[in-house]
Amino acid sequence: MIRIGRTTAAVLVALLVHASLAAQTRIQLRKNGFSPSQDVQLGRQAAADVRRQLPMLNDRPTEALVEQIGRRLVAAVPARFAQPAFRYSFDVVNLREINAFALPGGPMFLHRGMLQAARTDDEVAGVMAHELSHVILRHGTLQAAKAQKFQLGAVAGQILGAIVGGQKGAMIAQGSQIGLSTYFLKYSREYEREADLLGAQLMARAGYDPRQMANMFRTIEQQGGNSGPEFLSDHPNPGNRYDAIVREARSLSIAGTAGTGPTFDSVRLRLARMPPAPTTQQVARAQQRYPLAAPAR
């Protein structure tokens, strides 16, 4: 019979607790044929398209809150994923759908509908941490590299078609070259799984509750009707999404409380008092009637 003293038992328990905390999933950077500075360049071009084609909210208190959450998350990126060349930015688009997207090298865009659907800033942080994970894992250019005809010089401004998504998006994109942006925004289930898990880890490191990411995905799933969840067609459920995030959350300890509470509530109230945001389709239709000038490159 093995006898262990009380102290030894306590040490063993401490080791076990430590082991369970340390059991977070280790996500690896994949080999990418693009250089980080190409990520930055491509993302910057696509972001210029976004800012030209989509209505930006330009509301200072809202932008300040989103910026605050974004900076906290970026500061929580582990050193092994740090990309000194990347330039992170966080903008709010005045669109109704619950959606968000991020481009290679750092530009991130949140729909106003996402902010209005979220109940806490932890939920907003959940979506942002997921998007940020795609950026730091460089999924956009990895995805683009899978597209055969891709050439670096051939970036076309098809961002709107990509955001509207599906058949409607293809109609908007019709007649012009299919843009690289499409590849930046649609991820495989494998990449989704990585972004969920790394996103949960970033949240905990930044002081947000990772389970709120799972809650936000539930809210997105429940969104129905015409403004259907394009987010989910770009970010397909890798399977058992909710449970997988909650399981990962159990292995993480949350570093403090980053949620702003009253600040978040006041921003939500502000947004609720504004005239309703247009849908992406309304914006797309208006642009088909009054096409934008071709981008100068």
Positions touching Zn ion (CB under 5 A) are: 187, 192, 195, 235
Q: Which is nearer to Zn ion, 109 or 271 (CB)?
A: 109
Q: Least distance (Å) from Zn ion to the CB of residue 187?
A: 5
254 close to 26: Cβ distance less than 8 angstroms: no
Q: Least distance (Å) from Zn ion to the CB of residue 133?
A: 8
Q: Which is nearer to Zn ion, 195 or 258 (CB)?
A: 195
Distance CA 140, CA 191 (A): 10
Q: Least distance (Å) from Zn ion to the CB of residue 189?
A: 10
Distance CA 232, CA 97 (A): 12
Q: Which is nearer to Zn ion, 13 or 147 (CB)?
A: 147
The residue whose Cβ lies closest to Zn ion is 235
Residues paired with 108 in a beta bridge: 90, 102
Q: Least distance (Å) from Zn ion to the CB of residue 192?
A: 5
Q: Which is nearer to Zn ion, 49 or 192 (CB)?
A: 192
Q: Helices 189-206 and 241-250, interaxial angle, to 10°? A: 40
Residues paired with 101 in a beta bridge: 109
Distance CA 212, CA 110 (A): 17
276 close to 163: Cβ distance less than 8 angstroms: no
Q: Least distance (Å) from Zn ion to the CB of residue 232?
A: 9
Distance CA 107, CA 132 (A): 9
Q: Which is nearer to Zn ion, 169 or 268 (CB)?
A: 169
CB-CB neighbours of 270 under 10 Å: 14
- End-to-end distance of the chain based on CA atoms, in angstroms? 78
Distance CA 108, CA 2 (A): 57
Nearest C-alpha neighbor of 127 from the set 112, 141, 114? 114
Q: Which is nearer to Zn ion, 100 or 267 (CB)?
A: 100
Q: Least distance (Å) from Zn ion to the CB of residue 102?
A: 9
62 close to 116: Cβ distance less than 8 angstroms: no
Q: Where are the beta strands (DSSP E) in 68-222?
A: 89-93, 100-102, 107-111
Q: Which is nearer to Zn ion, 97 or 192 (CB)?
A: 192
Q: Least distance (Å) from Zn ion to the CB of residue 107?
A: 16
Q: Which is nearer to Zn ion, 241 or 268 (CB)?
A: 241
- 8-state DSSP, 279: P
Q: Least distance (Å) from Zn ion to the CB of residue 275?
A: 30
Q: Where are the beta strands (DSSP E) in 112-210?
A: none
